[in-house]
Amino acid sequence: MKIILALFYKKLPVKIKLLFILFIIFFFKINAQSYIFGKVDSEDGVEIPDVTVINIRTDERAMTNNDGHFMISGKVGDELRFVKLGYERINKKITSENNNVPINIILIKAATLIAEVEIKKGITGDLKMDVKNLNKPKKVEKLINEIDRYIVRKSDPRILAARSGEFVQPKGQGFSVGKVKNKWDDIDLMNYIKVNLGDTYFTDLKIDKANIQHFIFYVLAGGFERKNILKYGFCSDTDMYRFQGAVLSRVASYRSPQTSK
């Protein structure tokens, strides 16, 4: 085959031979693949491996090796993008000045924002003390502030006044024998229950918002045991569960006609 091509070439005129040679040179020049070389370092001068290099025009991708070197096909006018998790991405335009020489890319570490946590006091290792010292949720802070205001506020006896034809105001257990004095009275307990359970709890039971306080006193007057609650000024979760049980047993009679109460 080579002999036949050689004989064919010898028989061609000189001008045709020149055109044939120029065509061959032009063909290889058009189809020759050009590559861009370079290296990626950190701002501290350390080679960065596994950086993704993207030719935006062709969407071709390459990765840097362990020494930070890369090779990707491209030409003048192309734009390369360098992407690495934890670093700011950077773009590099390929020009005639940097086309035939290795390019050096510097990646800068991305800034990391850390949420600020305010601690009122240092952690001691005592769980009960640390829970009190650490920031409380806003809803808990709001509830505690409202309860504190209710406790400090002086009780108005007129609040306990019964409506015409209804049960008599319950007698408070705010008096004790001896030196022990109750920290709460029934009004303090009523305020705590109202805040803790919320108005929605009572309105869901078909109790008008204006009658919530009156209904709480109605439940207390039904025999709800609260001696220790008033004595120590503290209502536990167990006490609240007991109260809700008493509510369920008394709500039907409260909503019935006055004569049945």
Q: Residue 63: pLDDT above 60?
A: yes
pLDDT score of 244: 94
88 within 8 A of 108, measured Cβ to Cβ:
yes
The model's confidence at residue 176, banded by pLDDT at 50, 70 and 90, is very low
Please answer whether residues 230 and 183 qualify as being in contact, where contact means their C-beta atoms are separated by less than 8 angstroms.
yes
User: What band does 58 get if pLDDT is binned at 50, 70 and 90?
Assistant: very high
Stronger pLDDT, 32 or 69, i.e. the higher one: 69
pLDDT for 195 beyond 90: yes
- Whether residue 164 has pLDDT greater than 80: no
Least reliable range by pLDDT among 56-65, 125-134, 208-217, 231-240: 125-134
Residue that is written with structure tokens 């952690």 in the block: 123
Residue 2: band (very low, low, confident or very high) from pLDDT cuts 50, 70, 90: very low
Instruction: Please report which confidence band the pLDDT of residue 6 belongs to, taking 50, 70 and 90 as the band edges.
Output: low
Angle at 205 between CA 200 and CA 211, to 5 degrees: 75
Assign residue 223 a region: left if phi > 0, alpha if psi is -120 to 50, beta otherwise? left
DSSP-assigned beta bridge partners for residue 42: 107
pLDDT tier at 174, thresholds 50, 70, 90: very low
pLDDT for 101 equals: 84
Q: What is the mean pLDDT of residues 25-45?
A: 75
**Comma-separated ranges of CATH 2.60.40.1120 domains in the chain:** 35-111
Average pLDDT, the chain: 77
DSSP H helices, 198-235, are: 199-203, 212-221, 227-232
pLDDT at 17 over 70: no
* Whether domain 35-111 has CATH 2.60.40.1120: yes
Q: What pLDDT is attached to residue 175?
A: 45
Buried/exposed code over 215-227 (b: 16+ C-beta within 10 A; e: otherwise): bbbbbbbeebebe
- Range of weakest confidence among 47-51, 127-131, 166-170, 221-225: 166-170
For the segment 123-157, what is each residue's pLDDT rounded down to a tens digit? 665 655 665 666 566 766 777 777 776 665 655 54
